[in-house]
Amino acid sequence: MLRVLIILPLLISCNNTALTRVCPSDCYTFNHGEAGVGVCKAGDPIYSDDDTCTLLECVGDVGPSEIYEHSCDGLDNDCDGVVDGPFEVYRSPEQIRAQGLCLTDGVCKWASVSCNGADGFACHYPQTHETTETRCDGLDNDCDGEVDDVDSVLRGEDGSFIPCYDHPHAPPESVLYGECSYGVLLCLEGDPFCTSQGPKVEKACTGLDEDCDGLVDEGATIQEKVQMVLIRDISGSAGQYLGTIESALQQYVAQFSSPLYEFALVHVSGTSPENTVSVELDFGPYTDLLAALSAQDYGSFEGTLDAVQLSCDGGLGLNWSEGSKKLLVMFADEPPQSYTQPACTEVSAADACVAIDAPVFVFSPSYHYDQICSDTGGTCYDLNNSTYMMQQNLNDVLSSFQCPI
């Protein structure tokens, strides 16, 4: 009874005003996704009937851009709360190729892909992949569908040719002599190939050092005596070349162990005009020449023309043998000079040597002796400090008289 008395006054205080419906302040009209998640967001509603909250239009709401996430852009495009959903589906070659995500030819066949958010997809290639093909390995390293589409001549990182000498059974120094030479690396059928020239079996009288031992035609034989006069300028100005000349001659004359070879040594350089030429060795074996090479007496008078002419006309008393093959080899750093009375000339010196059929070969830095070399049938060479080049030129001299012409 007490409860009724309390409630009745409350009921009496209520009026008859009808309740008003309150409509939602935002709207979302898409079947997938959730507003406020990922790229999805609510819009502003327009109602046709506020009493019933009948929605006429939802302005500005945004739904998922993808029903199932496949983009890689750092966004949650399907509004499922996961940014850039899992991409395992893109790891098979077929799917990567279908999506055009990565290169898939050649060594890229097994490429994988990952998502780096706003930076997009990242392709992961094997270590054999190259942006520009440089390897010669039988593979399509740049994944363009062509195997070893490199320049046929392989190059280093700086673009230069790669020198090679691929003759493991030959001494390394053989590349410095004769017909041997460095080559370049070519790519042939997936394997590097070196074009170097290695030693071959020496053939007699070819004028070539085919076995690359520094000796020319060492297999050739002679049937008559060969006499060679070596004329050496030992003046002070020529001192810079003497070590090279001695080293080259030591290697050169060591080829002539046969008693049919004889050598004479004439020095040019005197302390006065009366003694500019001296005979250090009359004709003897190569061992005598090697012993005489170390004898040096510097002077400033260099009668090079006198040395040539007096060697050929008998003025030095050299013991020329009748019927022998004769030749002169001179090393001089100065132009032609004479201190005799009357003076020797290039013409008179050449005539004296032609008379005994002795060609003259001259090593000089400026080819001052062209006329003597030409008139006698010899050759002029450049005088420099390359022992190798000097020995090669001396070998050319050797082949000119050791083998039949």
Q: What is the pLDDT of residues 72-90, one digit of tens each?
A: 788 888 898 888 766 544 4
Q: What is the pLDDT of residue 2?
A: 44
Check whether residue 275 and residue 371 sit in a common domain: yes
Closest CA to 212 of 198, 224, 228: 198
Q: Residue 372, CB half-sphere, CA atoms under 13 Å: how many?
A: 33
First to last CA, the chain: 154
Average pLDDT, stretch 226-234? 92
* pLDDT of 297 strictly over 50: yes
Q: How far apart are CA 324 and CA 209, in angstroms?
A: 25
- DSSP, collapsed to helix, strand or coil, labels residue 259 as coil
Among the three residues 220, 248, 272, which one is the final residue of a domain in this structure?
220
Average pLDDT, stretch 176-202? 81
- DSSP, collapsed to helix, strand or coil, labels residue 307 as helix
Check whether residue 210 and residue 241 sit in a common domain: no
* pLDDT of 67 strictly over 70: yes
Q: How far apart are CA 323 and CA 160, in angstroms?
A: 55
State the pLDDT confidence band at 326, using cuts at 50, 70 and 90.
very high
Q: What is the pLDDT of residue 29?
A: 93
Check whether residue 255 and residue 309 sit in a common domain: yes
Beta bridge partners of 279: 266
Check whether residue 184 and residue 330 sit in a common domain: no
Q: How far apart are CA 14 and CA 256, in angstroms?
A: 142
In a domain, 140, yes or no: no
Check whether residue 238 and residue 203 sit in a common domain: no
Check whether residue 169 and residue 266 sit in a common domain: no
Q: Beta-strand (E) ranges in 137-182?
A: 163-164
The CATH number of whichever domain residue 392 belongs to comes to 3.40.50.410
Check whether residue 232 and residue 213 sit in a common domain: no
Tokens 């090697």: give the residue: 290
* pLDDT of 8 strictly over 60: no
Check whether residue 349 and residue 293 sit in a common domain: yes
In a domain, 370, yes or no: yes
In a domain, 211, yes or no: yes
In a domain, 374, yes or no: yes
* pLDDT of 16 strictly over 70: no
Query: What is the enclosing helix (H) or strand (E) of 232?
Result: strand 226-233
Residues 6+ apart with CB under 8 A from 261: 225, 226, 228, 285, 286
* pLDDT of 1 strictly over 80: no
Our count of domains for the chain comes to: 2
Closest CA to 306 of 349, 271, 275: 349
State the pLDDT confidence band at 352, using cuts at 50, 70 and 90.
very high
Check whether residue 201 and residue 302 sit in a common domain: no
* pLDDT of 49 strictly over 80: yes
Q: What is the pLDDT of residue 222?
A: 55
Check whether residue 260 and residue 180 sit in a common domain: no
In a domain, 367, yes or no: yes
Is residue 148 within 8 A of residue 158, CB to CB? The reply is no
Among the three residues 199, 220, 241, which one is the final residue of a domain in this structure?
220
For residue 214, what are the domain limits? Answer: 154-220
In a domain, 85, yes or no: no
Q: Which residue has the higher pLDDT, 157 or 304?
A: 304
What is the Rg, in whole angstroms, of the alpha carbon atoms belonging to the chain?
A: 49
Q: Which residue has the higher pLDDT, 223 or 360?
A: 360
When mean pLDDT is compared across 56-70, 147-161, 324-338, the lowest value belongs to: 147-161
pTM of the model: 0.49
Check whether residue 327 and residue 358 sit in a common domain: yes
Q: What is the pLDDT of residue 230?
A: 94
In a domain, 102, yes or no: no
* Residue 42: count of CB within 10 angstroms of its CB: 18
Check whether residue 211 and residue 292 sit in a common domain: no
Among the three residues 220, 242, 258, which one is the final residue of a domain in this structure?
220
Q: What is the pLDDT of residues 146-183, one digit of tens each?
A: 887 766 666 777 777 778 888 877 888 888 887 888 88
What does DSSP say about strands 163-164 and 183-188: parallel, antiparallel, or unpaired?
antiparallel
* pLDDT of 262 strictly over 90: yes
CA separation, residue 324 to residues 78, 190, 315, 316, 386 (Å) = 105, 58, 19, 18, 31
In a domain, 161, yes or no: yes
* pLDDT of 360 strictly over 80: yes
